[in-house]
A and B are shown apart, each in its own frame.
Chain A
Amino acid sequence: MVAHLAIERVVKRYPQAVLPAVNGVSLELAEGEFFALLGPSGCGKTTLLRLLAGFEQPDEGRIAIAGQDMAGVPPYARPVNMMFQSYALFPHMSVADNIAFGLRQDRRPRSEIETRVKTMLDLVKLGALARRKPHQLSGGEKQRVALARALVQEPKLLLLDEPLTALDRKLREETRFELVRIQQRVGITFLLVTHDQEEAMSMASRIAVMDQGRIVQMGAPDQVYEKPADRFVAGFLGAINLFSARVVAASGGILSLDSAEAGARLAVAHDHALSPGTEVALALRPEKISVRPTPDPAWANTLGGTVRGVAYRGEASDVEIELPTGKLVRVALANGERSAQARLAPGQSVALGWGRESAVALER
């Protein structure tokens, strides 16, 4: 099967830059997929998006959309539309004219333009505001106009450049569901670029984490979150505790690690054996750790520590626990009951533990 979008070893260099902005990226997207490129600013994700839109030309590699090679094809001839971070709505045109812009460019019949614009206005729930100018709209409304304008030509691929960044938090969370709903309804392939891991994970069916112009890891959101490939991915996708450790023994899919930082011997499941002496990092998410006044015999790994601070966040509390070695461990405790937060106080001695499957050993 031919991939709907195929990116093959694409390289993009900017003059005066030491490293290429995009450094040998290969990526394949299936038709109708919702894919997210995730990475810190400057990782090359926006450059990759601009290469797909045709605003930049790759120095090496090949881009094909629906089997058609995009080399030398200018932006206006590509079956791709982009939703800009700043929305880039035309200030001198009404909402309806903004949405109709692409269709008028394609010289569609007037009646068809009218019906398609109306369908889009209904899809993004802006029917009542069709005659408004962009400066009379709220941020959320502008965002929806930008989406409608990018969707109305029914592109083979929709590029979304940080589409939710300009919205406030509450609206951002509502809009995530809205975007997924719209994507499922129109069935167009969405490629989202974002630096917000929650945004990427909650919307996309697959994500790729980028760093320094390369894709570091690609997979389903839970896969990337639970089994990060290296320390960068582990740290970028949410909070994590890292213990540097050395492999002591490996048997039956379980590694036995000696960690000076943790001050204990730790056991962790790993998919292949590592020879004793290998340096690894044990990565442990804050929400995977249990905290009790006394150790639970069911725990595979147990450490003792002292509570240093409790930060109440509402649905959960972040607790900082200091180990006897001086290492600080971050634990997230769900506030399942109203009194749950009262259980821990700074200075209190506690036991913390986790299972073999809860942590991962990172070789890089």
Chain B
Amino acid sequence: MSLPPATLFQSQRRNRIAVVALPYAWLILFFLAPFAIVLKISLAEQVMGIPPYTPLFQDGQLATSVANYLFLLSDSLYARAYGNAIWFAGWGTLGCLLIGYPLAYGIVRAPANWRNGLLLLVILPFWTSFLIRVYAWIGLLKGNGVINNALLWLGVIHAPLPLINNAFAVYVGLIYSYLPYMVLPLYAALEKLDPTLLEAASDLGCRPRQAFWRITLPLSLPGVAAGCLLVFIPMCGEFIIPDLLGGSDTIMIGKVLWDEFFTNRDWPVASTVAVAMLLLLLPAVGAVRRHLAGETR
């Protein structure tokens, strides 16, 4: 190199900054900036006009109010919708875990030349639109749908089962839709587990079932945490599934947000609902992240 060392160092430094700057610029532009706008709108008030909310500065003064946040606290509809969202997402996540873990475990244990094919089957539904797949569930679950008709024809039941527009249908939709997001991180965690560790456990007097609880499960916990986060957070904000498959008692916060924004045209309250959701979820995400950092250190 003909460059003097100091210049070389500086140019390396510049390159490094350039490499890091690009993703950061992307995040600031497309994530942080929109979020700042949402936050700003949540502190404004609804007005008739375009845009349908009060500006940030009025008469040269900062005009913000937390009235929307107080409104959220005063109307029990919102608390119930948040509670419902977390409740459905929580049980939905557990359902995904209980189905996804054995599935991922089975794929890892399958013969090597089968594994890629089986993984492909897990992600195959992604090739069809999410919306269409949820609509397809209506056809399966409705009163004269495929499942009820089949059961009636077989004589197992004499009247159609209430399979749709209730909590059951919401769980079916949630678990079905988000299962791949649970299986993939679990597969990654289980796949890198060294089989020699299980042999060592067996050698030290551990039966296969005990070895699962003492070796396999603890070592796959980072995958469990990653999968649960990936599934739980979008489930909390889900509105298509409760809208299409749920009933009046399965109202979730994503649906409320949608209604505030599109039906009521109340941008400030809709924004407040979104920001409050974030504030609710951040501590949980932070706790899981801290736990993961502790595991891997």
Contact = CB atoms under 8 A, between A and B. Distances in A.
B219 A92 contact: yes
Given A91-B219, A92-B218, A92-B219, A76 B207 contact: yes
B199 A75 contact: yes
Contacts of B201: 90, 101
A74 B202 contact: yes
A105 to B, nearest CB: 4
Contact of B203 (A75, A90, A91, A92): A75
Nearest to A82: B203
Contact of A102 (B199, B204, B215): B204
Contacts of A90: 197, 200-201, 215
Contacts, number: 56
Q: Which of B196, B199, B200, B219 has the most CB of A within 10 A?
A: B200
A70 to B, nearest CB: 13
Q: Which of B197, B204, B206 has the most CB of A within 10 A?
A: B204
B210 interface: yes
Nearest to A102: B204
A81 B219 contact: no
B199 A105 contact: no
B205 A84 contact: no
Interface in B205-251: 205-207, 210, 214-215, 218-219
B113 to A, nearest CB: 14
A149 B204 contact: yes
Contacts of A278: none
A106 interface: yes
B23 to A, nearest CB: 29
A77 B204 CA distance: 9
A84 B196 contact: yes
Given A90-B197, A105-B210, A76 B203 contact: yes
Interface in A57-100: 74-77, 80-82, 84, 86, 88, 90-92
Contacts of B196: 84, 86, 88
B194 interface: yes
B148 to A, nearest CB: 48
Contact of A86 (B194, B203, B210, B219): B194
Nearest to B215: A90
Interface residues of A, number: 23
Contacts of A102: 204-205
Contacts of B202: 54-55, 74-76
Contacts of A76: 202-207
A271 B218 CA distance: 62
Given A88-B194, A88-B197, A105 B215 contact: no
Place the interface of chain B in its size category. Answer: 10 to 19
Interface string B170-212: 0000000000000000000000001011011111111100100
Contacts of A106: 205
A86 B210 CA distance: 22
Contacts of B295: 92
A80 B203 contact: yes
Contacts of B214: 101
Contacts of A88: 194, 196-197, 199-200
Contacts of A54: 202
B219 A153 contact: no
A88 B219 CA distance: 13
A321 interface: no
Given A91-B219, A92-B219, A101 B204 contact: yes
A81 B210 contact: no
A48 interface: no
B200 A105 contact: no
A6 B233 CA distance: 60
A51 interface: no
A153 B204 contact: yes
Nearest to B211: A76
Given A86-B194, A91-B219, A81 B199 contact: no
A105 B205 contact: yes
Contacts of B218: 92
A146 to B, nearest CB: 9
A215 B213 CA distance: 40
A90 to B, nearest CB: 6
A332 interface: no
Given A55-B202, A153-B205, 8 more contacts: A76-B206, A80-B203, A86-B196, A88-B196, A90-B201, A105-B204, A105-B205, A105-B206
Interface of B: 194, 196-197, 199-207, 210, 214-215, 218-219, 295
Interface of A: 53-55, 74-77, 80-82, 84, 86, 88, 90-92, 101-102, 105-106, 149-150, 153
What 6 A-B pairs are tightest by C-beta distance, nearest first? A102-B204, A88-B200, A105-B205, A75-B202, A88-B196, A82-B203
